[in-house]
A and B are shown apart, each in its own frame.
Chain A
Amino acid sequence: MADKNKEFREELLEAFSAEGYDQVANIAQSLLKLENSADEATSLPLIEKAYKELHNLKGSARGVQFSSIESFCHPLESILYALKIGKVKATPELVDLLLSSTNAVEQLFSEPDAPKLRPPVQKLLDKLLIAAKKVDDSIQIFSEETRDADDSEENFIIESMTLLEENDLDPLEETSPVRSSTGSLAETKQSHKYIASEVSRKNTGTVRIAAAKLDLVMQKSEEMLSIKLMAKQQAAETGVLESSFVGWSKKWQKAAPELKDLRRLTNKANLQSIEAERILHKINDLLQWNEDYIKSLSRQVRTLATSANACAHYASNSLDDLLDETKHLLMMPCSSQFNSFHLLVRDLARELGKEVDFSITGEEIEIDKRILSEIRDPLTHALRNSLDHGIEDPEERVIKGKNRRAKLTLSATQLDSGTIEIRVSDDGNGIDVQLIRERAIESGMHTADELAKMTPEAIRALIFKSSFSTRKLITEISGRGMGLSILEENVRRLGGQLKLESVPQQGTVIIMTIPVTISTFRGMLIDLMEKHFIIPTTSIDRVIRIRKSDIKPVEGLSTISLEGTHIPLYPLADILQLSESKQAKKLDTSEFLTVSILGSGESRVGVVVDNIIEELEVLVKPLGPVLAGTPNISGLSILGSGKVVPILNVTDILQHRQVGQVNYNDSTNVASPKSERKILVTDDTLTARMLLRNILETVGFTVKTANDGVEALEILENEVEPFDLLVTDLEMPNMNGFELTSAVRKSTKLQSLPVIMVTSKTAREEREKGVAVGANAYFIKSSFEQTNLIDVITSLIGR
């Protein structure tokens, strides 16, 4: 029973907190507005609102026996009541006290069972109680009963809940009257049925739902993307299968005349042997049967392909619709985030000694709540920035002839169905281009010459670079140089754009254009050294093909010219620390390079890739705790085929600084002045030799082959230029792999030659034998990955 009570209490507390936070927020908002309201007409409704909310909060707190909050609510209520009936004036000090108290209450929600208040909080409460007493004393007629009578029903419900808890009663049973703190109410409670969970009387067409539940649904809908991709993949593969019948059909058609002849001849034939005749007839029949069978198969596959396509379409459309609707579930009005800015600006302005009129417009516009929470920090930074850097001290403003109180506005406007524009504007001192110039030179970011060539807009944009700050002194608020760069990054990550407009001495506007919903992730699938990667489409400025001759060295970096500016160029393989020789080889062979320009505006970088395959919609999976710290990689995606492809982190790539130039024209630029590596492949089967030779030659090794151990040994001993590696099969005639390795190790010339065994034998004893004779590595034919083999070879003999 105790458990059930505990559970019930926990549920109650949860519901209480959910509602309570809203109530406290509303009270705070009303109080803030009250501070700024000039006359009674505006202040009275605000006081009323605050009072009502507080009253509800008090009742609920009492109902769940949340004593700490309750103890705050009592004096707060007294004071608000006094304000309501006009017995006390709303002085700034009083409002301040009330606001601090509501803040304290908000903190208390998370500690329902704290035995007593923390000292600073207790001090505040004491102060509040003193104020409340003063207020109480000045009002003669002031009784709980009078007040309670206003909201008897509410109170009743609260009391009932308490009742329920205390006595473990069934909510639907009738009950006898119980003693209560308000005597007059006792009678009215008799013989009333009640339902404990219905604290709120509001009964509109809305439901409260835990955000976590919505998030889960959203997540699952997004994961359905993989079903869509799989369906498409299947349809594609079935299509390929279907078209392979076309190949068969063609060939068969071509052979048709011969087949006819065969049949004709068999019928006419006067063959010596009856047996031969019989066989020919049989073969004819078989061929005919085969043709019919395959034709019928082809028809079946066609039907299958059609339905696979239909399935893919259906899945695609339904899932897109579902995703769309779920996204709309998550849309919330901006006000849910923006309202808290009132308090933030007020407190910050106070701290900085600035006087500000802050207004918010367009807060009813709805955005995906995830985007909303992503822009919370950037907006906070922008507001802080305006308050700290932009807006001048009141005296300074007066001297300049401006209003003492600065104007700060946060506005949201809907540009079109999918985009909204958020502006943070102030009428402060604007962005001082000169100051930025000075700071840039000071911090070594740019030289005076460079700055002279930059447009004012470009110079202003410098403030978005991380580590840039015009503040000499780092304070809590500004100066660390991170604020605006985070803003830029966040906005860009959401797929939006950031602009800055400023007129010196008149003000600054930060303009953010962001999408209303989070669209599915789209990326460009690229091929780099036979590995695949995905670059987020939003980070790609453009993709171009350049001639090697277009590459110009500028200040020690390879660059290309784009729209009049020089953009640094790097081989992507270098940035990702993939082995160089392969890409260098590729770069050699063609005159053209495929380059993907990443980033936007002033900060762009070009990366050389092997091939752009296609642009896809992908499902992004997080890296997980083991891989989270990996540079240059931001996530993983699963393609329709089930293959996992890493997604590149463009921010990291943009920050890559390569020392020195990459010489794209010279094949010897890679650090291997030695001649190419020579490998001997020994295997008794032709296919195996061809396969291995193929693999190794593609990578750039020189390959010679031998058919068995004896031949191999001969070649190894007698070849003028020594081999760097021996790759051998085990089962060979004349001399098998073990014997060969043994012999190699015994030979003075060859004893340090690296040996790799490649075989289809999986037995452990064989491997141990390999170790015993001195092999360096052992691969199983059926399961070795091409790249594994190459990696091992590279580690054994270099490139």
Chain B
Amino acid sequence: MSRPLLRQHMADVEIKSSIDEIDELTQPVRSTAETLRARAKALAKKRAKDQEEESFEIVEFLLDNESYGFQPQKLREICLLSYVTTIPCTPSFIVGVINLRGQIITIVNIKILLGFQQQMVAVHNKAIIIESGKLCIGFLADEVVGVRKVAVSSMQHTLSTLSGLSATYLKGITTDRMIILDVEKILNDSRFSQTKK
């Protein structure tokens, strides 16, 4: 709404709240039971709110219509893939490499890495660059949804359909079916620390 109207509206609200306050003060004293009950109600609400607030930040991205998330500590950047150079004789989870301002970064398909079935080939035009110490890799993504808070309570820690392998790399799955990745564990995977035979 327009400024003067807004100001008017706010003024109205203020006046109303002041009136409420005055009313309260001039109210005849409520019975103690009533007061106590009201207080208890207020306190109870607060505690529920506290528990709800235990959550952590998650960066969410989509790959093949599935939703994945991970904690942003190791996130370096997100980039648009214009040209990915494929490398022959590499395992299937390696999509290829890109040149990011002079640094060569390997792009992997997290879905294949974790052993999930490939259901649909989709956009695959973004990469999420993760860096931990010397290791820097990019996860293939269709879309990066954004950062949001995920409540700890909404996490289910195991899913019976997961194979043993992928279970170790996941922190869990949320109630709205976002797969939470354990980036640390993934980065420590032996497939990421090869040496020339």
**CB 8 Å contact bits of B74-108 with A (1 = contact, 0 = none):** 00000001011111111000100111001010101
Q: Is B135 an interface residue (CB 8 A)?
A: yes
A626 near B191 with CB under 8 A, answer yes
Given A625-B135, A638-B104, check contact A646 B87 (CB 8 Å): yes
In Å, the complex CA distance between A636 and B98 comes to 11
Interface residue from B81, B88, B98, B125 paired with A578 (Cβ < 8 Å): B88
Q: Is A669 an interface residue (CB 8 A)?
A: no
B83 near A785 with CB under 8 A, answer yes
- What residues on A are CB-neighbors of B85 within 8 Å? 636, 643-646
- Chain B interface size, under 10 / 10 to 19 / 20 to 34 / 35 or more: 35 or more
Q: Is B60 an interface residue (CB 8 A)?
A: no
Interface residue from A626, A771, A785 paired with B94 (Cβ < 8 Å): A626
- What residues on A are CB-neighbors of B99 within 8 Å? 638, 642-644
Given A633-B87, A638-B99, A778-B121, check contact A627 B134 (CB 8 Å): no
Q: Is B195 an interface residue (CB 8 A)?
A: yes
- What residues on B are CB-neighbors of A627 within 8 Å? 87, 90, 94, 97, 106, 194
B90 near A767 with CB under 8 A, answer no
Contacting residues of chain B (146-163) with chain A, CB-CB under 8 angstroms: none
Query: Who on chain A is nearest to B134 by CB?
Result: A625
A779 near B121 with CB under 8 A, answer yes
Given A629-B196, A638-B104, check contact A777 B121 (CB 8 Å): yes
Q: Is A403 an interface residue (CB 8 A)?
A: no
B120 near A632 with CB under 8 A, answer no
- What residues on B are CB-neighbors of A771 within 8 Å? 65, 119-120
- What residues on B are CB-neighbors of A645 within 8 Å? 85
In Å, the complex CA distance between A578 and B137 comes to 24
B84 near A629 with CB under 8 A, answer no
- What residues on B are CB-neighbors of A638 within 8 Å? 99, 102, 104
- What residues on B are CB-neighbors of A767 within 8 Å? 65, 120, 122-123
Q: Is A630 an interface residue (CB 8 A)?
A: yes
The SS class assigned to the A binding surface is mixed
- What residues on B are CB-neighbors of A621 within 8 Å? 104
In Å, the complex CA distance between A783 and B142 comes to 11
In Å, the complex CA distance between A130 and B112 comes to 68
B94 near A778 with CB under 8 A, answer no
Q: Is B111 an interface residue (CB 8 A)?
A: no
Contacting residues of chain A (555-609) with chain B, CB-CB under 8 angstroms: 576-578
Contacting residues of chain A (742-762) with chain B, CB-CB under 8 angstroms: 762
**CB 8 Å contact bits of A263-286 with B (1 = contact, 0 = none):** 000000000000000000000000
- Chain A interface size, under 10 / 10 to 19 / 20 to 34 / 35 or more: 35 or more
* Chain B proximity of A786: nearest CB distance (Å): 11
B102 near A226 with CB under 8 A, answer yes
- What residues on A are CB-neighbors of B62 within 8 Å? 764
A632 near B89 with CB under 8 A, answer yes
**CB 8 Å contact bits of B23-63 with A (1 = contact, 0 = none):** 00000000000000000000000000000000000000010
- What residues on A are CB-neighbors of B2 within 8 Å? none
- What residues on A are CB-neighbors of B108 within 8 Å? 626
A576 near B123 with CB under 8 A, answer no
Q: Is A624 an interface residue (CB 8 A)?
A: yes
A632 near B88 with CB under 8 A, answer yes
A629 near B195 with CB under 8 A, answer yes
A776 near B193 with CB under 8 A, answer no
Contacting residues of chain B (111-134) with chain A, CB-CB under 8 angstroms: 119-125, 134
**CB 8 Å contact bits of A770-799 with B (1 = contact, 0 = none):** 110001111110010101100010000000
Q: Is B3 an interface residue (CB 8 A)?
A: no
Contacting residues of chain A (293-331) with chain B, CB-CB under 8 angstroms: none
In Å, the complex CA distance between A295 and B119 comes to 56
- What residues on A are CB-neighbors of B81 within 8 Å? 783
Query: Who on chain A is nearest to B90 by CB?
Result: A630
In Å, the complex CA distance between A65 and B37 comes to 76
* Chain B proximity of A425: nearest CB distance (Å): 33
In the complex, besides A577-B89, A626-B94, 8 extra interface pairs with C-beta distance below 8 angstroms are: A577-B88, A628-B196, A629-B195, A643-B83, A643-B85, A770-B120, A778-B121, A788-B124
Q: Chain B residues in contact with chain A, CB under 8 A? A: 62, 65, 81, 83-90, 94, 97-99, 102, 104, 106, 108, 119-125, 134-135, 137, 143, 191-197
30 contacts between A and B (CB under 8 A): A577-B89, A578-B88, A624-B104, A626-B108, A626-B135, A626-B191, A626-B194, A627-B94, A628-B196, A631-B89, A632-B88, A633-B88, A633-B89, A638-B104, A642-B99, A643-B85, A644-B99, A764-B62, A764-B143, A770-B120, A776-B120, A776-B121, A777-B122, A779-B122, A779-B123, A783-B123, A783-B125, A785-B83, A787-B86, A788-B121
